[in-house]
Chains A and B, each alone.
Chain A
């Protein structure tokens, strides 16, 4: 086993400090070390998008980073989206209303991809939405309802 490194980082506003082996993937760190299992792991080679999180505010694959790299950085995961126990983020609410999910496995990745996208694009076209979600796979919906949900979310967030 290689030497352990200290990782101190902020996730969803909360500071954590852990000792990690360098080879620990950031996705596994979030799930197994911090118990934030909302970040899902699908392919582990950057294709499916299920593990997408915000790394310093930017959407990134947590399976293509090592936890040790996140030392000193600020992360956001799906657990941090909803403002309270009883209320959903407008994007989550739109996914709910427009049937943007069935099994829900891919949903955290879609949400974390779309949060920064909608911040930049208040009125996205269908083509822009499809380009934005091109790096996220969904095997249930055929994407149509996801696109509808993004349009609905953009309306809600105006």
Chain B
């Protein structure tokens, strides 16, 4: 229950942090909030010969909106800030709704958006939210910077597109089209536990009320955030009704998600949950799209 020995550095510039990572590669890990990394190190599931503490890089902690309506979230922004920020509430209501489900208040005080996304736990909320909201990810290294689309960022369990010398430094969320409604629901055994199943729904309706576009993204339903494209296709172009919602929920739950099961929930139970939660999320998202 105690971590193995490592060296520690706390660079005061981003350039210095990136130089250290370039020099040490996979032997070094960035330490941001530490709320996943430190327990993994305590259990000796994660090892590093060098921790590069980025908590001194205040320039990576911000929430701002660009002229073209994008929300820009600095990688060191804490979960608690996302939960309480008025810009996030107004322009990314899905994130505002989901953040209270991320662990406990004390964890949200420390945990960062960049850390959670780079950790890429398939049971975590933020990866699902960023896929549902079509986020872009800025990766920086001594070689320069590049933007990664959300569909390319998450590879598999705890694995992202980030190279060993790169740091995720910013997340960009595009503005939502008008008449778009979002909803996030999850089911966990206790408040703050990892959810057994969860879904983010984003729907856009036309002036005639028909669904123009839909996205359903699931957590704890596979090796990464699971974007149920077939279920979204069921909704597209159709007028929302309880029957249509049932059909989309069944397609996602029966044929798209791949829940792995655990001691607390069999895959069959997780699929059942997915169906129920999808109905609730879609109903709410369509209601919100109309108002």
How many Å lie between the Cα of A132 and that of B100 in the bound state? 11
In the complex, which residues of chain A have a beta carbon less than 8 angstroms from the beta carbon of B263?
none
Q: Which of A59-67, A76-84, A146-154 lies on the face that meets chain B?
A: A59-67
- 1/0 per position for B264-275, CB-CB distance to A under 8 A? 000000000000
A131 on the B face (CB < 8 A): yes
Closest to A117 in B: B105
B43 contacts partner chain A, Cβ-Cβ < 8 Å: yes
Please pick, from B43, B55, B190, the residue contacting A69 in the complex, using a CB distance under 8 A.
B55
A28 to B105, CA, bound (A): 22
- On whether the beta carbons of A64 and B7 are closer than 8 Å, the reply is no
Say if the beta carbon of B69 comes within 8 Å of chain A.
Answer: no
- B 38-67 binary contact with A (CB < 8 Å = 1; else 0): 110111000000010101000000000000
Closest A residue to B51 by beta carbon equals: A22
Choose, from A10-18, A45-53, A89-97, A99-107, the stretch at the interface: A45-53
Q: Which residues of B contact A58 (CB under 8 A)?
A: 80, 109
Given the interface contacts A59-B106, A65-B110, does A45 sit within 8 Å of B5 by beta carbon?
no
Cross-chain contact B6 with A65 (CB below 8 angstroms): no
Please, which residues of chain A bring their CB within 8 A of the CB of B4? Answer: 23
**Do the beta carbons of A22 and B192 come within 8 Å of each other?**
no
B3 at the A interface (CB under 8 A) = yes
Binary contact readout B1-16 vs A (1 if CB under 8 angstroms, 0 otherwise): 1111111101000000
Is chain A's binding surface mostly helix, strand, loop or mixed? mixed
The reply on B24 being an interface residue by CB < 8 A is: no
Residue from B5, B34, B43, B100 in contact with A2 in the complex, judged by beta carbons closer than 8 Å:
B5
Q: How far is the CA of A66 from the CA of B191 in the complex (A)?
A: 26
Contacts of B155 in A (CB 8 A): none
Given the interface pairs A22-B6, A65-B38, A66-B38, the reply to whether A135 lies near B104 with Cβ below 8 Å is: yes
Q: Is B35 an interface residue (CB 8 A)?
A: yes
Instruction: Please determine whether A59 and B8 come into contact, CB atoms closer than 8 angstroms.
Output: no
Please state if B2 and A60 are interface contacts (CB–CB under 8 Å). no
Q: Is B107 close to A, CB under 8 A?
A: yes
Residues 115-157 of A at the B interface (beta carbon under 8 Å): 117, 130-132, 134-135
Pairwise interchain contact A46-B35, C-beta atoms closer than 8 A: yes
| Chain B interface bracket (under 10, 10 to 19, 20 to 34, 35 or more) | 20 to 34
Would B105 and A45 count as touching, CB distance under 8 A?
no
Q: Do residues A60 and B5 form an inter-chain contact, with CB atoms below 8 A? A: no
Q: Please report which residues of chain B, range 248-274, place their CB below 8 angstroms from some CB of chain A when the two chains form the complex.
A: none
A25 interface contact, C-beta 8 A: yes
Give the number of residues in A that approach B within 8 Å (Cβ atoms).
Answer: 33
Compute how far the CA of A46 lies from the CA of B1 in the bound complex, rounded to whole angstroms: 12
Expressed in whole angstroms, the Cα–Cα distance for A71 and B100 within the complex equals: 30
In the complex, chain A residues whose CB is within 8 Å of the CB of B104: 49, 134-135
Known: A25-B2, A131-B191, A134-B191. A61 touches B8 (CB 8 A): no
Report the minimal beta-carbon distance from A79 to chain B, rounded to whole angstroms: 19
Q: Which of B3, B38, B53, B100 has the most CB of A within 10 A?
A: B38
**Judging by beta carbons under 8 Å apart, are A135 and B107 in contact?**
yes
* Set of chain B residues within 8 Å of A69, measured between Cβ atoms: 10, 31, 34, 53, 55
Q: Which residue of B lies closest to A58 (CB)?
A: B109
Residues of B within 8 A of A1 (CB): 5
B106 touches A66 (CB 8 A): no
A113 at the interface (CB under 8 A from B): yes
CB pair B106–A44 under 8 Å, yes or no, is no
A102 and B54 alpha carbons, distance in the complex (Å): 41
Partner of A134 from the list B6, B105, B109 (CB cut-off 8 Å) is B105
What's the Cα separation between A66 and B5 when bound, in Å?
12
Which residues of B sit under 8 angstroms from A52, Cβ to Cβ?
Answer: 106
B residues apposed to A, CB below 8 Å: 1-8, 10, 31, 34-35, 38-39, 41-43, 51, 53, 55, 80, 100, 103-107, 109-110, 190-192
If A2-B7, A65-B34 are given as contacts, then 14 extra A-B residue pairs at C-beta distance below 8 Å, sorted by A number, are: A2-B6, A22-B51, A23-B3, A25-B2, A44-B39, A45-B39, A46-B35, A46-B39, A55-B109, A58-B109, A59-B109, A64-B110, A130-B191, A131-B100
14 contacts between A and B (CB under 8 A): A2-B5, A2-B6, A22-B8, A23-B41, A25-B2, A25-B42, A44-B2, A44-B39, A49-B104, A59-B106, A61-B106, A69-B53, A117-B105, A135-B192
